[in-house]
Chains A and B, each alone.
Chain A
Amino acid sequence: MVPVLYDITFDIAEGEFLALMGPSGSGKTTLLNLIAGIDKADKGSIHVGDVDITTLSETELAAWRANSVGFIFQFYNLIPVLRAVENVELPLHLTTLSTRSRREHAERALAMVGLDHRMDHYPGEMSGGEQQRVAIARAIVTDPTILVADEPTGDLDRVSAEEILSMMERLNRDMGKTIIMVTHDPRAAARAGVLRHLDKGYLNDDAHQNPL
């Protein structure tokens, strides 16, 4: 066992858009996974809202994730055999919503990312930027309080990346989502309200309001 992260203590305010920067292998993904409840820390505690997620069981954690967190990944992680609208509907299958309202929610989420016309396309039939927008729709369809994004623009061209970042900005500003975004692209980080640096498992104490 090799420790990845050391003595990290920090707070994220509700409604904040935080960018987590650092070189490859510095532990950004690991930290993000801990916050989002898809990895377990050996020590320490993580409070989100008034829940200490480190005390939750596997099942409770799964339910908490389904309710409170939306996920956006570098490689979109859509289910390849599901159409865009089906991918967006997927998290709603863990709710008590009817078939019909699931579909309505999914269509609305797709409209918000400007993809209502691509509803019936499979991921393989869409560009990277479009797939990432579908992933954003999937992340917001359950109306979570937190969005976590791990290098969301890492696999995209400049134009698509800008689109995705603007979308995330709007989600933060207009819908009040707390966003934690891992990136090593300074231009992506520039869109966030707060910047933090992670280096070799240590979080630098240089949190500062983004000058931009």
Chain B
Amino acid sequence: MMLTKILFRNAFHNKLRSSLTILGIAVAILAFGLLRTVVSSFYAGVEAASASRLVTRNAISIIFPLPIAYTEKIRQVEGVKLVSYGNWFGGVYIDEKNFFPNFCIEPHSYFALYPEFVLNDAQKKAFLTDRKGAVAGRKLAAKYGWRIGDTITLKGTIYPGNWDFVLRAIYKGRDNTIDETQFFFHWAYLNEGIKKIWPRYAEQVGFFMIGVNRPDVAADTAVMIDQRFKNSLAETLTETEKAFNLGFLAMAEAIVTAIQMVSFVVIFIILAVVANTMAMTTRERTGDYAILKTLGFGAKDITILIFGEALVITLTGAAIGMVLTFPTSRIFGSQLATYFPVFLVSTETIYMDIAAAFCIAFFAAIIPTRHAIRIRIADGLRRIG
């Protein structure tokens, strides 16, 4: 009780030093939280991937297509429940800088396979029955102010010309980890267009998306699909959706690993700063600890005083940093929506913040505590005056 009083007052005794240390911790925890959020946002797409879905692409490279005729053959493979397919369209809306992912897909099977994209029934029906119909994610529609019935023109970068679509539906994510910035339209519509300009490239798809009956044997199903097309003109490579997404991220992953390391470096730097503060304050209080020992207080009491003071300072700073992480990440998220469609502070990040704060306090307090306990009373008392 008395010790609590002393340690709290000690923590805020030197106002300037405490404020600066707390500010430093707050900024460090904020930076740590944002960096961790970048990392977890980066993997959000991977995490959202379903274990019960496979992706089949051309074995040579994703840029080579596969014949649409494979659809039936894949459907016949044991364990396959549902087959959909699509192409990356890569269209540009008005200007290059307005990037968002846009695909053509086989609409009936696609939304059956991706229940995380939630459509209302009336809009879904309108989309399915309109050849030129399109579906946009809620965030995307909000960003450009699109309304149902609007005509949206994308300029093809792979397929030349301007392509007009009519927005028929807006999807919502099933939960807040789902990307709401994508744009889908009918594969058949793209195919018709291609028939006119490059007939040779018609009737082809970029990838198949496959729902399996049993996620636990998904790997076997993938092997069976690839065997089905062995020695054909276009061999396939089938992998789980997770592996497929990770493959896309592989290169950027090195950067993410670097970011992850930087986030720990930030914590390490602030640990050094807090350790320095604790070393200074406990040195100044050498006499206080000596007098407490003189009066009969023991090592346990000194430990409580020093660890407590370090905890008060660190947790105060960390609390401020954590509170600031939420609005800051919202600003970051809206600025970086193109790169991180989902930018949310995860519960795990908050746990890591708290764990980091405790680690900082512990390692900053341990050496001063050891010193304060070990110093002989007589020597401690001589430090006064």
Contact = CB atoms under 8 A, between A and B. Distances in A.
A155 B385 CA distance: 10
A63 interface: yes
Interface stretch (A45-53, A90-98, A183-191): A90-98
Contacts, number: 67
Given A89-B2, A90-B295, A81 B287 contact: no
A82 B6 contact: yes
A18 B110 CA distance: 98
Interface residues of B, number: 25
A74 B291 CA distance: 13
B376 A77 contact: no
Given A73-B384, A75-B385, A90-B295, A81 B10 contact: yes
Contacts of B5: 82, 86
Contacts of B378: 29-30, 33, 38-39
A80 B5 CA distance: 12
A128 B287 CA distance: 17
Contact of B13 (A38, A81, A155): A81
B228 interface: no
Interface string A154-172: 0100000000000000000
B293 interface: yes
A177 B212 CA distance: 91
The 3 A-B pairs at the shortest CB distance, nearest first, are namely A66-B296, A81-B9, A39-B378
Nearest to B291: A77
A65 interface: yes
Given A39-B376, A77-B287, A65 B381 contact: no
A90 B2 contact: yes
A38 B289 CA distance: 13
B365 to A, nearest CB: 18
A80 B384 contact: no
Contact of A65 (B10, B13, B296): B296
B297 interface: yes
Interface of B: 1-2, 5-6, 9-10, 13, 287-288, 290-298, 376-378, 381-382, 384-385
A79 interface: yes
A74 B287 CA distance: 13
Contacts of B292: 79, 90
A86 B10 CA distance: 14
12 contacts: A38-B377, A62-B298, A66-B296, A71-B291, A77-B290, A77-B384, A79-B292, A81-B9, A81-B13, A90-B292, A93-B1, A94-B296
A59 interface: yes
Interface in A118-136: none
Nearest to A79: B288
Nearest to B376: A39
B288 A71 contact: no
B377 A79 contact: no
A94 B292 CA distance: 11
Contacts of B13: 80-81
A24 to B, nearest CB: 13
Contacts of A82: 5-6, 9
